[in-house]
Amino acid sequence: MSSHGDPIPMTSRKTRNLRGTAHVPGDKSISHRSLILGALSVGETTIDGLLEGQDVLDTASAMRAFGAEVTDHGGGRWSVHGVGVGGFAEPDQVIDCGNSGTGVRLIMGAMATSPITATFTGDASLNSRPMGRVTDPLALFGAQSYGREGGRLPLTIVGAADPVPVRYEVPVPSAQVKSAVLLAGLNAPGQTVVIEKEATRDHTERMLAGFGAELSVTEEDGKRVITLTGQPELQPQSIIVPRDPSSAAFPVCAALIVEGSDVLVPNIGLNPTRAGLFYTLQDMGADLVFENPREEGGEPVADLRARFSPDMKGIEVPPDRAASMIDEYPVLSVVAAFAEGKTHMPGVKELRVKESDRIDAMAQGLRAAGLTVDEGEDWWTVHGLGHGKVPGGATVESRLDHRIAMSFLVLGMASEQPVKVDDAGPIATSFPIFERLMADLGARIERANG
Ligand code: S3P
């Protein structure tokens, strides 16, 4: 929903001994896709472990608006009675995707090759984010779009009545753009080809194949080439959503920087297109172990055990790892503050167009908390002070960005003075149980001024 309630300020104080087991919610990327692909199948898809964060709830509402029956059975079990590829009805209301770039971009793709018109909007954060990266390739299918200056939301898409398949090389590393083109390709006759220079998260490809679409992935000249045959009849599925590695990042990183901690985060999906943060933390010297590695639903899964790691060192984060940890740089920069020496993070221009400009949001907050941070358009460097030496004592802005809010609350768990976040409300978009889960581990997070 675009209406954001009253700000919820929170203060996080230094603590010790985070202990216990942290069951984080279902994966956000897979949750969005489960609802959308369920809606594009013929018959009933069941989803267990759906993330019930606001972003995903907004996608569920959108699928209802396009004609699918979406039911919440309680306890994380949902079902979607789909209308089939090409079966979307024209919504009679504006589609409000709230804070979610993934929701709006994937849904725009899914409707763009049907002869219907839909208008999309979101909150102040989403309405400032670039949409041309999606509407440009959708135009190649024959869809028209009318948005605000710079192609921003609110934006109307007139779907193509006679779509043609496309061949499109994605100009920026973006799973959302790739997925929007593939979802649009579903209702175009013939083969739609998407090419990516850098591999981004591949949930859409895996799930499309799982729903019965004909899809192949090959490598040509070092690029990933995805070929989808249009107009399949997608078969409904029973989906068990793995737990979100991007949410796991918060209790894991908190355990690494809080003295005396030992935290288990079970059942985390370690798809290589998502797991970059954990390898980076290990490279820094973190005591982070993958226990009980196994495979579930075709995805690698493990239980993560993170223990206090007072001797971490700053590193050069390999730029070719960026796509696999793009949402984790904010919390990595917090860990970097507690490591000795510089952590340099190059090749991350995309961070500037997330829910907020994440380089700017983190750099300003970290500086207010006593750190030195250097930045350029597509890189930043945090000068780590080491354990026990990060001052804190700042009030920071979350800028409608859940990951900024959670990252600074993690910072406050180990800095000398408390850290206050002006509005922790956005956390509900992706990790609605964050406050309780962290409190159960022993974090000292309080609402209101402290
Ligand atoms: C996502 C892709 C990424 C990521 C976002 C989720 C997805 O965005 O930042 O949180 O589910 O496809 P980009 O495609 O903009 O890189």
Smallest CA-to-CA distance from 237 within 294, 297, 295 is with 297
Within 296-397, residue ranges assigned H as helices are 329-337, 358-368
CA of 176 to the centre of ligand 1 (A): 5
Domain membership of residue 279 (yes or no) is yes
205's tokens: 């490809």
pLDDT for the residue 449? 57
Residues 217 and 301 in one domain: no
Answer yes or no: is pLDDT of 2 > 50.
no
* Phi and psi, residue 205, nearest 5°: -60, -50
Nearest ligand 1 atom to the CA of 179 is: 12
- 327 in ligand 1 pocket by Cβ < 6 Å? yes
CATH of the domain at 86: 3.65.10.10
Residues 220 and 365 in one domain: no
Residue 450 pLDDT level (bands cut at 50, 70, 90): very low
Domain membership of residue 4 (yes or no) is no
Length reported for the chain: 450
CA of 60 to the centre of ligand 1 (A): 18
Tell me the residue range of the domain where 322 lies. 10-26+242-447
Nearest-CA residue for ligand 1 atom 4 is 327
- 29 in ligand 1 pocket by Cβ < 6 Å? yes
- 244 in ligand 1 pocket by Cβ < 6 Å? no
418 preceded by a cis bond (ω within 30 of 0)? no
Percent residues over pLDDT 90 in the chain: 96
**Residue 203: DSSP 8-state:** H
Domain membership of residue 237 (yes or no) is no
Domains identified in the chain, total number:
2
Residues 282 and 352 in one domain: yes
- Give the C-alpha separation, 137 to 177, whole Å: 9
- Check 27, 244, 287, 327 and give the catalytic one: 327
Residues 305 and 351 in one domain: yes
Residue 72 pLDDT level (bands cut at 50, 70, 90): very high
Residues 215 and 250 in one domain: no
- 201 in ligand 1 pocket by Cβ < 6 Å? yes
Residue 1 pLDDT level (bands cut at 50, 70, 90): very low
Answer yes or no: is pLDDT of 138 > 60.
yes
Q: Could you report the per-residue pLDDT of 216-268, keeping only the tens digit for each?
A: 999 999 999 999 999 999 999 999 999 999 999 999 999 999 999 999 999 99
Q: Could you report the per-residue pLDDT of 427-439, keeping only the tens digit for each?
A: 999 999 999 999 9
- 326 in ligand 1 pocket by Cβ < 6 Å? yes
Mean pLDDT of the chain: 97
What is the arithmetic mean of pLDDT over 17-37?
Answer: 97
Q: List CB contacts of 341: < 8 A, sequence separation 6 or more.
A: 313, 314, 383, 384
170's tokens: 């994605």
DSSP track, 259-302 = TT-EEEEEEEE--TTT-HHHHHHHHTT-EEEEEEEEEETTEEEE
- 61 in ligand 1 pocket by Cβ < 6 Å? no
Mutate to test the pocket of ligand 1, among 106, 176, 203, 429 (most ligand atoms within 8 A of CB): 176
Domain membership of residue 235 (yes or no) is no
Q: How far is the first Cα of the chain from the last one, in angstroms, to the nearest whole number?
A: 29
Residues 249 and 206 in one domain: no
Nearest ligand 1 atom to the CA of 178 is: 14
Domain membership of residue 86 (yes or no) is yes
Is residue 75 a contact partner of residue 48, using CB atoms and an 8 Å limit? Answer: no
What is the arithmetic mean of pLDDT over 375-403?
Answer: 98
Q: How much is the pTM?
A: 0.97
55's tokens: 């972003």
Residues 73 and 22 in one domain: no
What is the arithmetic mean of pLDDT over 346-359?
Answer: 98
- 183 in ligand 1 pocket by Cβ < 6 Å? no
244 as an active site residue: the answer is no
